[in-house]
Amino acid sequence: MTDYKRRPNVAGGRETCAPEDVPREMGRLLSAYEARDEVSFADIVGFHHDLERIHPFQDGNGRVGRLVAFKECLRHGHVPFLIEDSKKAFYYRGLARWESEPGYLLDTCLDSQDSVAALMGAFRIPPLRLAVRRGLRQRDGRVRGPGFHTTPQCAAGIPGVSAAP
């Protein structure tokens, strides 16, 4: 994808940003996001929602938006989230209802984040071990240092991490 959309499009039955407004709206979104001193997981989910509402490309907006969110999670020290097929209905509901109830999307992404964390722990992915030694960001944005408690699946084989009692 090299260009913004040239024709109006719809996402989830809702109108999206008009093609002529996309550059301005993307500029606003990116400026506001990059101006933050700290970026929480909720900030990333909110950015993802806003990007999906703009729907800047003719096609592939969902995939691109989720990939950007994944990258931003890694950039800011958060375990990323992947939306599994079994959670897509909750994900779409969360996107549609963000303005009135952001908890729907946030909870879906947090649940998906838990699944990714368990998978990372099960595969003993080295960057997770390094992050655990340095401290991981919790859901509330605080950093937990080495030796924090987690599930047995995530704790197995990771030095300095023990399963929750």
| Tens of pLDDT, residues 33-82 | 999 999 999 999 999 999 999 999 999 999 999 999 999 998 888 889 99
Does pLDDT of 10 surpass 80? Answer: yes
Q: Could you give the domains of the chain?
A: 10-163 (1.10.3290.10)
Contact 43, 60 (CB under 8 A): no
Does pLDDT of 137 surpass 80? Answer: no
The H or E element spanning position 133 is: helix 126-134
Beta bridge partners of 84: none
Record the tokens describing residue 104, joined without a space. 């729907």
- DSSP label at 124? T
Count other Cβ atoms within 10 Å, centred on residue 33. Answer: 16
Contact 144, 138 (CB under 8 A): yes
- Note the pLDDT of residue 104: 96
Lowest-pLDDT choice from 89-93, 131-135, 147-151: 147-151
The residue ranking higher by pLDDT, 1 or 18, is: 18
- Note the pLDDT of residue 29: 97
